[in-house]
């Protein structure tokens, strides 16, 4: 088995630069996801304050459709984007339900 240093020496410089760019993009994606969850946290608080349902299936489906179209326009796999965002939406709904349950418990 070769050592990491020996492996690095045999990897083309351009490949290493591409990997660095990918690493930076991954961090940007994580930062954007964290910002998104900060906003959805506030949405969940507002829904809980106004006793609104944690999920809006019409908005969710409209949003998923817009994302699929946008993905296709950007040359991305629309199924992948749909599945990715569906997972994000599921997590948001779970968080909203927890906020609603906590608000209801405080109101008792």
What structural domains and CATH numbers belong to the chain? Answer: 4-107 (1.20.59.10)
The mean predicted confidence, pLDDT, of the chain is: 91
pLDDT at 3 over 70: no
pLDDT at 74 over 90: yes
What pTM was estimated for this model as a whole? 0.81
What is residue 100's three-state secondary structure?
A: helix
**DSSP tag of 51:** T
Q: Which of 36, 49, 37 is nearest to 99 (CA)?
A: 49
What is the per-residue pLDDT for 93? Answer: 94
Q: Which of 59, 33, 41, 26 is nearest to 98 (CA)?
A: 41
The string of pLDDT tens digits covering residues 80-89 is: 999 999 999 9
Phi, psi of 3 (to 5 degrees): -80, 160
Averaged pLDDT for residues 1-16 = 73
Q: What length is written for the chain?
A: 108
């Amino acid at each position: 088995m070769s050592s990491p240093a020996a492996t690095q020496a045999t990897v083309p410089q351009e490949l290493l630069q591409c990997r660095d760019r990918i690493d930076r993009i991954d961090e940007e994606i994580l930062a954007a996801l964290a910002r998104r969850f900060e906003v959805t946290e506030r949405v969940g608080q507002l829904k809980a304050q106004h006793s609104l349902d944690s999920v809006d299936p019409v908005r969710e489906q409209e949003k998923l459709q817009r994302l699929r179209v946008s993905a296709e326009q950007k040359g991305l796999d629309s199924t992948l984007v749909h599945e990715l965002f569906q997972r994000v939406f599921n997590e948001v709904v779970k968080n909203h339900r927890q906020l609603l349950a906590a608000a209801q418990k405080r109101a008792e």
